[in-house]
Structure 1
Amino acid sequence: MQVKSQKNKLSVQHPNQRLLRQMNATLNRKLKSIQHHLTIQQTDLQQHLMKILQDGHRPPKVDPPKVVYKQLNVLLITPCMDREISSMSVLLEQSLRHLVKNIYEIKTIQPIETYLDASNTDLILLLGGEEALPEENIEALRASPIKKAIWLSDPSGVKHLESVISLFDYVFTQDAANIPSYQRMGNALCYEVPFPPNPNVFYPQTARKHHESDVYIIGDAQPGSCLFEFANHALLSGKKVRVEGKGWKRRNGAFIPVQAHEDREWLYNGAKIVIQDNSSIRSMLEVAACGTFQLISISSTVDPDTDVFQSYNSLEQLVEKFDYYWNQVEQRRLAASRAMAYVKYNHSYFQKSLQLLDRIFR
């Protein structure tokens, strides 16, 4: 009986043992999983600590010291014969005097060797670029380690400038389309920086009768363009229209072609509405400085961040906006005043001088 009792006892304990084995197996699996994650975390922590120790032995990254403009000495080289650029050089020099320590102006024909002591001169800036430099000045510029920049007027293209461009580290042009050509001529950094409107020339004035027009169109009469199609629109019927660009003589003999010698400041002031398509940024700024309303194609917007210039990107938009502003004189004047104020404060000689320095020294 005792043996039988013990057998019964063992038979009762057997299920409990199975349960314990299952629990142990489950706990072991979980412990292994936890141990695996702990191992990974420990490895990551060790790698992180090693990186911190390695970075601690590296020299800290040092940014180049900022150039203080008020410590700079600038040599400004200006043309002798170009009256327009000579007039602009006065405004540029006056602006730079507010920004740099010293500015020395000489003409292209004067020897520059005495100004090229690297300890005294920090920047050489040539304005214009149309007048030929004496051979001794070319050699002096080529040999000098001083930063050299040229602010081109480039009115007659880029072909003749190859020997000049190679002398400079920075090239500033009136037209972004010239940049690829200039880059092929040397190793200069090239930027589009149009000349600001001369405030002594381009400002609101009362034009004489023979300078007046209803519409002044600036741009080529290319088949398929907005200007080409707009030229025959009924909205221009009976209006006095001036045109500046290629193809207009063949297109419409009733339009008045603008001659190269005519003073643009008077024509801009004499126009009620100026329409521009793919024209230079400089002409847009000059029209705005005269306080004249203009419509410009969206592809040639002066500044993509501003909405002060009324633009169009289709014939339909051009027709719609022209019709509206022609009949809403007060709205036309308000839009022209906003554009004039924008140009005055954002495209002055002081702002452009600062932009040049930032491009060179920042």
Structure 2
Amino acid sequence: MQVKSIKKNRSVHDANQLFLRQMHAVLNRKLKSMRKHMAVQQLDLKQQWLKMMQEEHASNRVKSKVIYKELNVLLITPCNDREMSSHCVLIEQSLKHLVRHVNEIKYIESVSASLSAMEVDLILIVGSDESLPNENITALKASTAKKAIWLSPNQNVNQSDEMLPWLDHLFVQHSWSISDHQHHMGSTGSHELLMPPDPHIFCPQAVPPEYESDVYIIGDAELDNIQTTFAKSGLLNNKIVRVDGKGWAKLGDFYPVRRHEARQILFNGSKLVIHSGESIKNVMEIAACGTFQLIGPSVNQSNGIDLSNFQQYNSCEELTQKFEHYWQSVDARRLAASQALAYMKYNQSHLQKTLRLLDIIFT
């Protein structure tokens, strides 16, 4: 009986050891992949920085009297905001290329301790639905350093109303949110600075066949608008068409996009996207996926986006002409999409936006 017990214990021990080895192998593979990804990300940031220097990017800006490489920055980021985690990492990495020192802490960590540990020139808060502890707010109010918050894409200005009186700069995603809350701002400088799409999510990628489509239309099918008139023209016949908006069911056999479906997958699966242009966010995300798009006349140009890098239409006739041309010419479509992707990568990156933020604060 004792021999059987020993053998049984050995068998369990061997099985456990095998499981641990397998688990370590999986973790090592994942860690290796993460390290490789981070290395590529760092290299990409360096390449962007070199490109900016080679193109004498600084000569196109109002030059600051402050030397950024002499600045110390305290970066305060949310603790559990998964949607913002990648943005926070990229903002921190961008700052490390631009300033002397970056100290990144979470909302719950002591601001007072961080401020007493070193001299800080700028305190930058990355916005979130999370709240700062009262003791940190007190420490921030007392600090003489420049203070700014960059609101997240899903955050409203009224979520930071209590912070506005002691902030020097407020960076928002939409200009209309500034005018809605001017009475709260006091001496706070307000600026529109759209955060780039998350490059880990919105990027060129292969998708399963069930997510592929010929045309992806974004916008509501309103009576006699450009997209509705175009949809009735017959050019979409015998094509797989996805629609993201209201009123399309009566116009054709289209596939409605559901709320839970990942837009980055659908963008990558589409050959061509048509949208009204009401959302700059859509423009940037589609371009970041490397997908060709035709942008309507409603696009808001106040976000610092150079629309000459994209194909636009202002009438149904123009939409029809451009659709026929780019649908028939795959090479032209791919070239235009590649140019828009390069523009997003090198001119609308986190590094570029962070530099723009510093320019606004210190100029």
Residue 294 of structure 1 contacts residue 336 of structure 1 at CA under 8 Å; is this kept in 2? yes
Paired with 2:276 and 2:335, the residues of 1 have a C-alpha distance of 22
Give the 5 Å matches for 1:150-165.
Answer: 150-155=149-154, 157-165=156-164
- Counting aligned pairs with the same residue, the percent is 49
TM-score (norm 2): 0.75
Residue 218 of structure 1 contacts residue 279 of structure 1 at CA under 8 Å; is this kept in 2? no
Partner of 2:196: 196
Using a 3 Å threshold, how does the CA distance of structure 1 residues 149 and 304 change in structure 2: closer, same or farther? closer
Q: Which runs of 5+ in 2 are unaligned?
A: 1-62
Matched position secondary structure for 2:207: coil
Give the 5 Å matches for 1:194-343.
Answer: 194-245=194-245, 247-248=246-247, 252=251, 254-300=253-299, 301=301, 305-343=306-344
Q: CA deviation at 1:94?
A: 0.8
Using a 3 Å threshold, how does the CA distance of structure 1 residues 303 and 194 change in structure 2: closer, same or farther? closer
TM-score (norm 1): 0.75
Q: CA deviation at 1:88?
A: 1.3
Q: CA deviation at 1:197?
A: 2.7
Q: CA deviation at 1:339?
A: 0.9
Amino acid at match of 1:329: V
Paired with 2:139 and 2:206, the residues of 1 have a C-alpha distance of 48
Partner of 2:349: 348
Q: Which runs of 5+ in 1 are unaligned?
A: 1-63
Residue 157 of structure 2 contacts residue 172 of structure 2 at CA under 8 Å; is this kept in 1? no
Deviating more after overlay: 268-277 vs 147-156: 147-156
Amino acid at match of 1:269: N
Q: CA deviation at 1:128?
A: 2.6
Deviating more after overlay: 295-304 vs 140-149: 295-304
Residue 220 of structure 2 contacts residue 248 of structure 2 at CA under 8 Å; is this kept in 1? no
Using a 3 Å threshold, how does the CA distance of structure 1 residues 128 and 225 change in structure 2: closer, same or farther? farther
Paired with 1:116 and 1:163, the residues of 2 have a C-alpha distance of 21
Q: CA deviation at 1:231?
A: 3.4
Amino acid at match of 2:357: L
Residue 214 of structure 2 contacts residue 240 of structure 2 at CA under 8 Å; is this kept in 1? yes
Q: CA deviation at 1:239?
A: 2.2
Paired with 2:182 and 2:150, the residues of 1 have a C-alpha distance of 15
Q: CA deviation at 1:240?
A: 2.1
Using a 3 Å threshold, how does the CA distance of structure 1 residues 97 and 65 change in structure 2: closer, same or farther? closer
Matched position secondary structure for 1:196: coil
Residue 70 of structure 2 contacts residue 100 of structure 2 at CA under 8 Å; is this kept in 1? yes
Amino acid at match of 2:254: F
Bigger Rg over Cα: 1
Q: Deviations over 1:68-92 (max 9, x none)?
A: 1011111111111211211111111
**For this pair of structures, how many residues does the alignment match?**
298
Using a 3 Å threshold, how does the CA distance of structure 1 residues 103 and 220 change in structure 2: closer, same or farther? farther
Matched position secondary structure for 2:93: helix
Deviating more after overlay: 226-235 vs 72-81: 226-235
Paired with 2:161 and 2:225, the residues of 1 have a C-alpha distance of 33
Greater relative CO, 1 or 2 (CA 8 Å, sep 6+): 2
Residue 77 of structure 2 contacts residue 88 of structure 2 at CA under 8 Å; is this kept in 1? yes
Using a 3 Å threshold, how does the CA distance of structure 1 residues 107 and 351 change in structure 2: closer, same or farther? same
